[in-house]
């Protein structure tokens, strides 16, 4: 990190006191959890409210450094305010005192306002770039998977319908099989009864003929 970037970072970040207690400027880092849902896939996730990040400060400060204007501008004015904040004076006095230093260098309040707006525009540009990058990542890491989930859901529904259809077909087949078993049982009884009746009749007739043969041998001499 360049010396300028390091100093620039110091202008905006209020360091925590030595005892570790957070100042008012850092109290916004407290996490607040909220629930949000991805509407397409109904996936519920828990997100924390955004908090100040040194990593992103460096990125934004880098953009401001790259676009730093020559001479005494808003950044130098901000640095003066930061220095005066260590002195026992109220806010109005600090701003007036820092402005007096700026005036001594030929800088007007309009120049400071224009300069501050310039840096706001620089940061807005960085915000747009970052949002574009996030949208790319959303599409890459979320959008494609959401599409895959929708496709899988459709596949599951289609297969579920196939399973339901196959289940109905299996039930119909089982019913047919039951009917066939009943018909087989009925046929077996009928066939075996017929066969047994035939054998009974056959045996009776054979016995009669055999008896006639015996009687003929006995009586016909």
Segment 161-216, tens digit of pLDDT: 999 999 999 999 999 999 999 999 999 999 999 999 999 999 999 999 999 899 99
Query: In 10 A of CB 76, how many CB atoms?
Result: 20
Percent of the chain predicted with pLDDT > 90: 48
Q: What is the pLDDT of residue 43?
A: 67
Closest by CA position to 35, among listed 46, 20, 27, 50 = 46
Query: pLDDT tens, 36-49?
Result: 444 445 667 777 78
Query: Residue 44 to residues 19, 29, 151, 158, 219: CA-CA distances in angstroms?
Result: 39, 24, 19, 25, 109
Phi, psi of 13 (to 5 degrees): -95, 125
Quote the CA–CA distance of 22 and 16 in Å, as a whole number. Answer: 5
Name the region of 89 (left: φ>0; alpha: ψ -120 to 50; beta: rest).
beta
* This prediction's pTM: 0.54
Return the axis-axis angle of helices 109-138 and 74-84, rounded to nearest 10°.
Answer: 100
- Would you mind telling me the total number of residues written for the chain in this entry? 221
pLDDT at 42: 61
């Amino acid at each position: 990190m360049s010396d300028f970037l390091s100093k620039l970072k110091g202008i905006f970040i209020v360091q925590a006191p030595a005892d570790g207690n957070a100042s008012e400027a850092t109290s916004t880092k407290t996490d607040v959890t909220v629930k949000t849902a991805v509407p397409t896939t109904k996936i519920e996730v828990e997100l924390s409210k955004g908090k100040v990040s040194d990593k992103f400060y460096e990125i934004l400060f880098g953009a401001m450094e790259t676009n730093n204007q020559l001479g005494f501008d808003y950044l130098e004015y901000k640095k003066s305010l930061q220095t005066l904040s260590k002195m026992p004076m109220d806010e109005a006095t600090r701003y007036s005192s820092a402005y007096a230093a700026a005036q001594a260098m030929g800088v007007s309040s309009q120049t400071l306002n224009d300069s501050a707006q310039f840096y706001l525009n620089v940061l807005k540009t960085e915000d747009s770039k970052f949002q574009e990058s996030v949208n790319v990542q959303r599409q890459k890491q979320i959008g494609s998977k959401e599409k895959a989930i929708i496709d899988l859901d459709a596949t599951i529904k289609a297969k579920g319908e196939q399973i339901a259809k196959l289940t109905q077909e299996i039930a119909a087949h089982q019913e047919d099989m039951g009917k066939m078993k009943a018909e087989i049982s009925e046929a077996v009884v009928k066939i075996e009864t017929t066969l047994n009746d035939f054998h009974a009749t056959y045996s009776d007739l054979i016995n009669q003929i055999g008896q006639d043969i015996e009687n003929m041998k006995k009586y016909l001499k």
